[in-house]
Structure 1
Amino acid sequence: MGTVLALGHVIGVAIALWTFNARAGGSFWHGVPPALILISPEWFLVSAGKALGWEITLAVWLLRGQPSSPWGVRRGSRSGRISRLSPAERAAREREMRPA
């Protein structure tokens, strides 16, 4: 039973990293490229920490009402660096993502 729980946690870490990448504006179908990790180390460290404790992260996210990710690529960014967005930038991103 311990093996099943440990395997479930490891699979959850992989899924959490995949989801954090997609919510920050990355691709759901490609892994996090090493260049992105090097260009956005603070995003990677925060995401890795949240992924290791994904069970707690999921509970907090659900309790807060499933807010959008505070991380993303700024509009007009030439480097593609993921950084923490201001509330106005997050609102603009959410407006763009809504179906017309």
Structure 2
Amino acid sequence: MGTAFALSYLVGMFASVIVGRSRAGISQRGRLSLFTIFGSLPWFLTQMASMVVWPAFLGVWLARGRPESPWQALTTGGGSLLVRRRTDR
């Protein structure tokens, strides 16, 4: 029983990473650079929190009616990737 719970929790953690990157507009390929992580710190910290307590984040997201992601991936002039809050709302 404990093994099934642990495996489902790990699968949920992995799925939260995939969903978080996809909703922000980041491909699933490759790693994030340190510039992207530190330049997008609010997004990164939110993603880390959602990965650890993904059942709570999933419940809140469903209770709110599955709203659109507030994050958007942007490419800088130098070709680096940054994630910022959407401004087109």
TM range (shorter): 0.7 to 0.9
Partner residue of 1:96? Answer: none
The TM-score, its normalising length taken from structure 2, stands at 0.81
Percent identity over paired residues: 34
Partner residue of 1:45? Answer: 45
Q: Write out per-residue CA displacement over residues 66-96 of structure 1, whole angstroms, 9 at most, x where no aligned residue.
A: 111001135x74343101123xx1x4xxxxx
Q: Give the AA of the match of 1:21.
A: R
Matched, 1:64 2:64: yes
Partner residue of 1:30? Answer: 29
With over 3 angstroms needed to count, the CA separation of the structure-2 counterparts of 1:42 and 1:6, relative to structure 1, is: same
Report SS of the residue matched to 1:81. strand
| Structure 1: gaps (5+ residues) | 92-100
Preserved contact between residue 18 and residue 31 of structure 1 (Cα < 8 Å): no
Q: Give how far 1:2 is off.
A: 0.8
Task: Give matches, 1:1-100, under 5 Å.
Answer: 1-27=1-27, 29-35=28-34, 36-74=36-74, 77-78=76-77, 79-86=80-87, 89=88, 91=89
With over 3 angstroms needed to count, the CA separation of the structure-2 counterparts of 1:81 and 1:71, relative to structure 1, is: same
Q: Give how far 1:31 is off.
A: 4.4
With over 3 angstroms needed to count, the CA separation of the structure-2 counterparts of 1:83 and 1:14, relative to structure 1, is: same
What CA distance in whole angstroms lies between the structure 2 residues aligned with 1:26 and 1:66?
A: 19
RMSD over aligned Cα, in angstroms? 1.9
Q: Give the AA of the match of 2:84.
A: S
